[in-house]
Structure 1
Amino acid sequence: MNTSAPAPRYFALIPCAGLGSRAGTAGPKQYERVAGQPMVWHTLSAFAGVKRIARTLVVVAPGDGFFERNPTTSALVVPVGGPTRAATVTNGLRELRRAGAVDNDWVLVHDAARCLVTPELIDRLIDACDGDEVGGLLAHPLADTLKIGEGGRVAGTIDRADKWQAQTPQMFRLGMLRQALEGVADRITDESSAIEAMGLKPLLVEAGGQNFKVTYPEDFAMAEAVLRGRR
């Protein structure tokens, strides 16, 4: 009798509960139109293009009616967003369990506002991490010199050698990520930080500089140019 465990599946979890206060938009920035569509549509389209993804779950804030007004996605939308990213992802992991995911399955957590991700980048991350004991994240080697600010003046310079800009998706086993997030509460800003707090070292998978997160008002124009340039 074959008693081997089933092969792990791949699930996507999209935190979509933030307000994006730095973006200067009237409402949540992920719903602003970029290249003719709400930004989150571009994000979900990229994951829909990866056939290995068993299911995509979008975590929105309670009372968020965007997807009810725009019912055009096959993703599972759940209104269980929390006050922090860590809380939102933790609640999303719980919902994935209810949808049939198990601890050994992979979860790819991705920013809703990182709308320039492509199916090719997602596949690159899956290919790199699939056989890894820890998992990993897309990242980009730092090109700029970093300064430490103090009172509006430079207080020091950070050596950029070996420095990376963390991106998403970040891909970890559901059970490991749930345990990691429980251990750090709300002190982290990405999933890799929680895994690192367990003493583990996630894999860095190089991605391009175009996979940036739309954060500030000027970022919308850059994202628009990239998306229109791909057409």
Structure 2
Amino acid sequence: MRNNPRSIIAIVPAAGIGSRMGADKPKQYLMLGQQSILAHTLDTLFAHPEIEQVIVALHPQDHYFSQLPQSQHPKLIQVVGGGERADSVLAALDYVYSHHPDAWALVHDAARPCVTLTDISRLIESVDIYPQGAILAAPVRDTMKRSDASGHIVNTVDRTLLWHALTPQFFPASILRRHLSAALAAQAPITDEASAMEWAGVMPGLVSGRVDNIKVTHPDDLQLAVLFMSQQ
């Protein structure tokens, strides 16, 4: 039988108010079919039976989230996020530590609406193999090149052991909070939760996830996400 964590709390950092996609609102509120990107993301997290709560870290000037039907979901908790992704995750972890100190945190990007319940389950189940925590990831398939500062190819990188980091990323909440806080205080370059754990000497596991778990960062990604979700 799997060693099931006592409770699992999903964290969605969504404090960004700027948009990189030329729109008049943050990208997580752009429409993807009949509802916003963030709404799709939250619906999937709400639907997973092992996720006890979903914490969304919002910008204090966010005027969009309250308009979503998902904002009234009984599993949802709102906290005020920070200027960077890591700050928002830490704010949510502070809440988790105060209310569920033994919980595991499942941190997921707001702009990854195509994640499947099956992939989330596989990540949660990996706790037996990776008790230190793990992330969803996809093996690199393309040929990788390293360049110099002028844009010239220096060499071809061996892709054999390279992975694209995805989300969710799944760690014991109290340990992630401690390492993330220390890494930020040391001004370490933290790009995701796994990098904070790595900085502290922890080696997170890699759980192979679906390649259609894309992050919407470009206008073309919206059409691709609609296609992926229709096929799912």
TM-score (norm 2): 0.89
Aligned to 1:3: none
**Other structure's SS at 1:162 match:** coil
Aligned to 2:229: 227
The one-letter amino acid paired with 1:137 is I
**Other structure's SS at 1:57 match:** strand
CA deviation map 1:90-141 (0-9, x unaligned)? 011112234x211x21100000001100111111100112563301000000
How many equivalent residue pairs? 223
The one-letter amino acid paired with 1:53 is I
Aligned to 1:179: 178
Change (3 A) 1:70 1:7: closer
**Which one of the candidate residues 99, 104, 107 is aligned to 1:106?**
104
Aligned to 1:129: 127
**Other structure's SS at 1:78 match:** strand
Aligned to 2:42: 44
The question of 1:139 aligning with 2:137 is answered yes
CA deviation map 1:62-92 (0-9, x unaligned)? 1102222224341434241111111110011
Could you tell me how far apart the structure 2 residues matched to 1:49 and 1:36 are? 18
Could you tell me how far apart the structure 2 residues matched to 1:131 and 1:175 are? 20
- Kept in 2: contact 1:64–1:79 (CA 8 A): no
- Kept in 1: contact 2:97–2:174 (CA 8 A): no
The question of 1:214 aligning with 2:216 is answered yes
The one-letter amino acid paired with 2:219 is P
Aligned to 2:86: 86
- What root-mean-square deviation, in Å, do the aligned CA atoms of Structure 1 and Structure 2 show? 1.9
The one-letter amino acid paired with 2:70 is T
Q: Percent identity?
A: 37
- Kept in 1: contact 2:79–2:91 (CA 8 A): no
What is the CA-CA distance between 1:37 and the residue it aligns to?
A: 1.1
Could you tell me how far apart the structure 1 residues matched to 2:224 and 2:17 are? 20
The one-letter amino acid paired with 1:39 is I
Runs of at least 5 residues in structure 2 that lack an aligned partner in the other structure: none
**Other structure's SS at 1:22 match:** coil
Moved more, 136-145 or 150-159: 150-159
The one-letter amino acid paired with 1:168 is T
Aligned to 1:154: 153
Change (3 A) 1:124 1:7: closer
TM-score (norm 1): 0.90
Could you tell me how far apart the structure 1 residues matched to 2:158 and 2:5 are? 42
The one-letter amino acid paired with 2:160 is A
Runs of at least 5 residues in structure 1 that lack an aligned partner in the other structure: 1-5
Aligned to 1:201: 203
